[in-house]
Structure 1
Amino acid sequence: MTTSAWPFGTDAKQDDPLTALRVPVVDSFNPKWKYIAAYIDVDRSRYSWGSQERPTDAEAAMLASFIEEYKHHWFRESYHRKLAERPLDVDSGCNTTVFVKYGTDDWGYRLCSWERGPMYVPVSPKLRGGDYDYAKCPGPLTLEKVMDYRHTIVGEVMQHWLDWKKDHPEVFPA
């Protein structure tokens, strides 16, 4: 694939190692583009709820796999080829999932459509136990547990996500 110009402007970092895995690295909890999922690279001087700790190689593989599972579940193979024409996966119908790393084995996520409630679930360590804590999803949680929670409806993890993880033991070891 060849691109003459980075189509995402400053919304996603072009030269970040996660970008090579098709994981957008953004600096906003509400990016402009409708990515399938993104990782927010938090600068502590801007936000007090994140960490400067980067995803491990295993976590980076999980982020990339999360995006692949979404495409596998929701899109036809012909649309996968269309998505591959850009360096990152975007779709006008996506409700971007933005992942944040608070620290070692401590992650959260948000959907860009959220207008009320906590900004991330689970909330940052600084807010845990306070008025903004989300009791149904206490932290800290590993990235895999956060992804499980993202795929949960009425207390049950969706079967398609469980099947995906089972079929990808190199990314999600049992």
Structure 2
Amino acid sequence: MNTTTWPFDTDADEHDPLTALRIPVVGSFNPRWSYIAAYLKPQSDHSYTFGSADRPTDSEAKMIASYIEEYIQHWFNERYQRKLAERPLDVDGGCNTTVFIKYGPGDWAYRRCSWQYGPLFVPEPPSFADRTVGPLTLLQVMDRNHTIADEPLQHWVDWKAAHPEVFGS
């Protein structure tokens, strides 16, 4: 990474190991920058902890990095892809960051920063007494994020099939 000054202030952790994979590690449900996707580190106050101290495994980190790459390949032309690559993290002008959170081993959720109504994360955390969905693996969460009606979108299915080293067969 060629950074003389970290452009993301305190919004994303410059020194987190996931940053090397172009994964922003953020401390807010709604980061200030419009990243393609981000990982929410555990949040804690005096009354509760939200998220797990368990970090993404190496294979989960590769999935998040691939998720970001798929988004870029699918939505942006080559010229804009080169422009994105000039920064250490992938930022788009929209405000629809996908934020992933890990509740525990094999238990993930996501949110879109554009959401104004409904749950904070899908699925809800395991601490919710009426949790109806979960636990879900990171791959299951990514599939849900790419699903309209009953099936994941074809571009996502094709991406996973083209990257068995990340998503398996």
TM-score normalised over the length of structure 2: 0.95
Structure 2 counterpart of 1:139:
134
Deviations 1:76-111 (A, max 9, x none): 111111001100000112510000000000000000
Tell me if the contact between 1:96 and 1:112 (Cα under 8 Å) persists in the aligned partners. Answer: yes
TM-score normalised over the length of structure 1: 0.92
* Inter-partner Cα distance in structure 1 for 2:43 and 2:96: 24
The count of aligned residue pairs is 168
Deviation of 1:156 (Å): 1.5
Deviation of 1:2 (Å): 2.0
Structure 2 counterpart of 1:122:
123
Structure 1 counterpart of 2:34:
34
Q: 4+ runs of 1 displaced by more than 3 Å?
A: 43-47
Once the two structures are superposed, the pairs formed by residues 1-150 of structure 1 within 5 Å of their partners are 1-45=1-45, 48-129=49-130, 133=131, 135=132, 138-150=133-145
Structure 1 runs not aligned, ≥5 long: none
Tell me if the contact between 2:22 and 2:65 (Cα under 8 Å) persists in the aligned partners. Answer: yes
Deviation of 1:155 (Å): 1.7
Tell me if the contact between 1:12 and 1:25 (Cα under 8 Å) persists in the aligned partners. Answer: yes
Letter in 2 for 1:66: Y
Deviations 1:22-51 (A, max 9, x none): 000000000000000000011444652311
The answer to whether the aligner puts 1:166 opposite 2:161 as a matched pair is: yes
Structure 2 runs not aligned, ≥5 long: none
Identity score, percent: 62
